[in-house]
Structure 1
């Protein structure tokens, strides 16, 4: 392979780094060892570069999987570009190299683009420790818009036959910004550890011919009242017919009604959401849920009586539990049907996707194709946004900011109220010809 993956999975990179300087490395990573040797023979200090990359991922980026994946992908891709296209160490990079890399990102060779999803870099050989390279891996992946995928699958399947995915590959502005940001962090670390004398990324970004400047107001994605009611009805019917959907119903309603991020119900290294986190407030006025959110910040979310009666009690009874949780109950809120262990975010994301698929099918069956298209690109965060937008009619911005876990009420106002944007639109419509 001209572009060979050089980092293993999130869980194995620490072991990979330990093995890199050991004799066993060439037996456990035979193709990678061969690739690195080839680079060394071409004058590229590949083993040293890889050690730098692995150390950066382990010591600087940390152990959050999503963050690790994002920074790993960019740094690895840039390192491969330096080795293969520039025939040099990443430590010898200059402004022109970074500029050429951005050109490469913007329009990569079609042979370097995976058709649909990110393939794992390595696979285990049988029951051994040997890691074999996955020939399907590519430095780029065609992330087809979810809306297009759902449209082709559920709404207009005839469109799928006309698609030419790789021809449509393009790097959007958000991805380009993320690439610059990730690469800048990598080079900043190289500079701070005195491995390079300057960081060329910031210089290149200032003159990038692809970046569009400015930021416009983007209203939060929400479900309209009719679609949300159909969501509730569809999931309730599905759960009545098949108990497996009780978990889907509870998850979706929790995200919307309690304004939760999906990670806040997921199994994380530092927190497992348990039923004991639901409790009656000391005031005796109602129930609250103790949530550990972004940045490991705790907050209390108020739990409406309607949620207790119509969602929590039903869900717990489906699990064979008492109607209401008690304060010392340590059962996970979202347990696996097989093991009983708390589910991770990937599993919860899949459940939300399945729930949205049911609603899209319901809308299509009702002849509401436009509404089906409108939610074909939806994600779990749409539910949090929907709940927050609806709540503005009942509580003020300050209370909502606390419920959402925003550090400042300014964030809440800018996202959900956007007074400056709305005032400008009101004035704009009355301009004369």
Structure 2
């Protein structure tokens, strides 16, 4: 029997630092949400899920991804299916995936917000939080929810790992997601390579010029914006590599000069892997400009602990990728408005769907045109050359050129 979904579910899991002992935290969830106690074995579901998430608390990005998928599944299982994890089967997982493709309006928010917030010294539920978040269409001013193929693949991957863990812990007998993974109607298999999503050179020119103007008008806020945008494009950093987290705080001392007087940036990337990223002459000039704005010496001192991206209000480094995401989106929005005002409607419309990660894609795509791809691979932190090869579109370009003049009516 499916339950009514008119009311939004409450969040289950806080940030890793606020969870602590899984047994105690599971009891606190049931105290907060006593209606969940109607589900048999719910306490054991919670404890095992918390133990699973605890094994990924070494990286906030990984923890957040796994928390999101586990939390959604548990909420659906308990509130919609009204069953514990041990009762889920292959058909239930098919139903769950269909639910994720079109969740009820009460489960969809229009912006990313924290699950919990501090109130009088305690962590309390944020009533504005929702399990799914829609992207706003700027043209229609409506919120459209759409789970992309990439997101669906992430659901399969994370939940398969989750159920495998529960099997290995002898908590579940089967992995229901594995039963549908190979032949699911939800996963598309492409016989071609998906194109890399990037912004055009014209769009980047407008973005850069727009932010430069903003930095002149309001340097206190937008000199930082300009520097961040240049880092994301010029060194194709991930936003997680600019903020402070459990891996450490990116500081100015991470910019380092070698014996040949060449500059590098030490970056801690995905999987806690450290890499050295080349700092170009233009990027070095951008660093000097930003440091001059901050009242620092033109170039960093050895071991300097000044955060690379500091808070504008308050002290210390930015600790939220969400804040960087909002900063970049604000730059995109301002450039979009300028392009529309100056008659570049088509280019502006394409910029509407751009995301933060497109800057990284664009920087890599531009570099592989003239740099050895092995060098680009190392700077980007790609695990394999196959990933870097995706940015080389010469083959697609040549393939189209060879077919461009095909005739629909062949000549005799």
Q: TM-score, normalised by structure 1?
A: 0.82
Q: Could you report, residue by residue, the CA deviation over 1:219-274 in whole angstroms, capped at 9, with x for unpaired residues?
A: 32333333323333222221112112111111111221222222222212122211
User: Are 2:14 and 1:9 aligned?
Assistant: yes
Distance 1:260 1:420, change over 3 A: same
Q: Distance in 1 between matches of 2:342 and 2:377?
A: 37
Match of 1:325 among 272, 278, 300: 300
2:276 maps to which residue? 300
Within-5 A mapping of 1:14-413: 14-15=19-20, 17-20=22-25, 25=28, 30-32=31-33, 34-39=34-39, 44-59=40-55, 61-108=56-103, 110-118=104-112, 120-122=114-116, 126-127=119-120, 129=122, 131=124, 133-139=125-131, 141-144=132-135, 148=137, 151-152=138-139, 159-160=140-141, 163=142, 165=143, 169-214=145-190, 216-243=192-219, 244-284=221-261, 286-309=262-285, 311-344=286-319, 345-413=321-389
Q: Distance in 2 between matches of 1:55 and 1:191?
A: 13
SS in 2 for 1:195: coil
| Ranges in structure 1 where 5+ consecutive residues have no aligned partner | 153-158
Q: Distance in 2 between matches of 1:99 and 1:225?
A: 42
Q: Distance in 2 between matches of 1:299 and 1:18?
A: 38
Per-residue deviation, 1:319: 0.3
Q: Could you report, residue by residue, the CA deviation over 1:15-53 in whole angstroms, capped at 9, with x for unpaired residues?
A: 47342576xx48xx6441x223333xxxx1222222222
Q: Distance in 2 between matches of 1:375 and 1:20?
A: 43
Distance 1:279 1:80, change over 3 A: closer
1:155 maps to which residue? none
1:425 maps to which residue? 400
Q: Is the 8 A contact 1:114 1:136 kept in 2?
A: no
Q: Distance in 1 between matches of 2:230 and 2:8?
A: 45
SS in 1 for 2:307: coil
Per-residue deviation, 1:341: 0.9
Q: Could you report, residue by residue, the CA deviation over 1:82-125 in whole angstroms, capped at 9, with x for unpaired residues?
A: 334444321232223323323333344x354324135554555x
SS in 2 for 1:372: helix
Q: Distance in 2 between matches of 1:206 and 1:270?
A: 36
Q: Is the 8 A contact 2:101 2:147 kept in 1?
A: yes
Count of aligned pairs = 401
Per-residue deviation, 1:423: 4.1
SS in 1 for 2:267: strand
Q: Distance in 2 between matches of 1:270 and 1:250?
A: 22
Q: Distance in 2 between matches of 1:111 and 1:221?
A: 29
Report which stretch shifted further, 193-202 or 61-70: 61-70
Q: Is the 8 A contact 1:13 1:54 kept in 2?
A: no
Q: Distance in 2 between matches of 1:323 and 1:13?
A: 40
Distance 1:302 1:205, change over 3 A: closer
Distance 1:330 1:172, change over 3 A: closer
Report which stretch shifted further, 66-75 or 112-121: 112-121
Q: Is the 8 A contact 1:397 1:412 kept in 2?
A: yes
SS in 1 for 2:178: helix
Q: Is the 8 A contact 1:7 1:13 kept in 2?
A: no
Q: TM-score, normalised by structure 2?
A: 0.86
